[in-house]
Amino acid sequence: MPVQDRTHEFIACVDSIISRSSIPSRRDAKQKLLQNGKSTTKSEFSRMASGIGKEISSTNLKLGKLSQLAKRKTLFDDRPVEISELTFIIKQDLASLNKQIATLQTYVKQKKSQGAKSEDGKQVDEHNKNVVTLLQSKLADTSVAFQEVLEVRTQNMKESKDRTEQFMYTATSAASQPPSNSVLFNPRGDPMGDGSLSRFDSKRPQNGDMLALNLEAAEEGSGSQNGGAFMQMQMVEQQDSYIQSRSTAIESIESTIAELGQIFMQLANMVAEQGETVQRIDADSHDIAANVSGAQRELLKYYASISSNRWLMLKIFGVLIVCFLVFILVS
């Protein structure tokens, strides 16, 4: 939201209201207030509130950068150091913001208990309360976004781990990785530490007493958790390793079955190709049978013609013998 200076409009509004209203005794006080509106003597409260607002916006910027980094899905150019540093910084910022809002709240309460029963005081009180509520809700939004970014980050890390497994085929390295990522790779849905899942559901703190984020506990928790998480991780690993080994065994069975399927397909292909060859052989043998039977027919005909020719032959032979006899008788 760009910052606009609408003090003129404010002054004009108030002027018009004064001219309409009938509380002349307060004019001077109000005019003083109005004049003070332009000057830089802000109350303690507004100073603190503006400081908090600035910090919230800077934290939001950092969160935007972190989310960009977390979205990157490259295998090799992952920058875990930067990401974890940024995460740490953002966590600290959120914690300090929380504390500041808490002090602001106590300040507001103090003022209320001390203060003025006048109408002025009441309005200021309400305004303060509203400002505190607004800051708290902004902080809650920031932390929700932070949590989402962390989840995205863990998801991407899991995916990249799967991909490296595919390429490098070291299934056993999966069990040994969690401890190094225990800050980020905590059990699902619990990115800020032990058991405080419900915090992020309270986006809008109803009464000012309930601080939206119990980050202090989370800070200590995650500090000691890195030691405790390691042990937890080991025990979880033990459980996990049995279950994981079961799942890997079953996965290997599944892949074996898939391979078998492929082998069967290959077999079927080869047999189909060979079937075509068999058909060619079949056609050829039909041709052979036809040819041979035709040749046999011809030969039979020939034989028949030769045997039926015998009488002609006899006659021809008879003529020849007669010629021979004639020749011999002549000579």
Partner 1 sequence: MVKIYSISVLLAPPSQTSTVLASASDLSQFSFYQKGSVGEFLAFFARTVVERTPQGQRQSVQENNYTAHVYNRGGAEQLAAVIITDQEYPVRPAFSLLTKILDEFIAKVPQSSFNNPSSISFPDVQVYVSKYQDPTQADTIMRVQQELDETKIILHKTIESVLERGEKLENLVERSNALSAHSKVFYKTAKKQNDCCVVM
Binding-site ranges for partner 1 (CB under 8 A): 235, 238-239, 242, 245-246, 249-250, 252-253, 256-257, 259-260, 263-264, 266-267, 270-271, 273-274, 277-278, 280-281, 284-285, 287-288, 291-292, 294-296, 298-299, 301-302, 305, 309, 313, 316
**Separation of alpha carbons 250 and 245, rounded Å:** 9
Tell the smallest beta-carbon distance from residue 213 to partner 1 (Å).
32
**Separation of alpha carbons 229 and 186, rounded Å:** 8
CB nearer to partner 1: pick between 190 and 298? 298
Tell the smallest beta-carbon distance from residue 273 to partner 1 (Å).
7
Residue 29 Cα distances to 25, 32, 63, 120, angstroms: 8, 5, 45, 11
| Helix pair angle (119-168, 44-71), 10° resolution | 20
CB nearer to partner 1: pick between 23 and 270? 270
Tell the smallest beta-carbon distance from residue 287 to partner 1 (Å).
5
CB nearer to partner 1: pick between 180 and 266? 266
Angle (CA) 322-326-327 rounded to 5° is 120
CB nearer to partner 1: pick between 7 and 241? 241
Tell the smallest beta-carbon distance from residue 212 to partner 1 (Å).
35
Tell the smallest beta-carbon distance from residue 259 to partner 1 (Å).
7
Place of tokens 């809002």: 101
Tell the smallest beta-carbon distance from residue 323 to partner 1 (Å).
16
**Separation of alpha carbons 218 and 232, rounded Å:** 17
Residue 31 Cα distances to 15, 26, 123, 216, 257, angstroms: 9, 8, 17, 45, 87
Tell the smallest beta-carbon distance from residue 178 to partner 1 (Å).
17
CB nearer to partner 1: pick between 198 and 239? 239
CB nearer to partner 1: pick between 103 and 245? 245
CB nearer to partner 1: pick between 155 and 266? 266
Residue 281 Cα distances to 103, 284, 285, 288, 317, angstroms: 97, 5, 6, 10, 51
CB nearer to partner 1: pick between 12 and 289? 289
Tell the smallest beta-carbon distance from residue 293 to partner 1 (Å).
9
How many Cα atoms within 13 Å fall on the side-chain side of residue 60?
Answer: 12
Count Cβ atoms below 10 Å from residue 138 Cβ, excluding itself. Answer: 19
**Separation of alpha carbons 203 and 144, rounded Å:** 8
Count Cβ atoms below 10 Å from residue 199 Cβ, excluding itself. Answer: 19
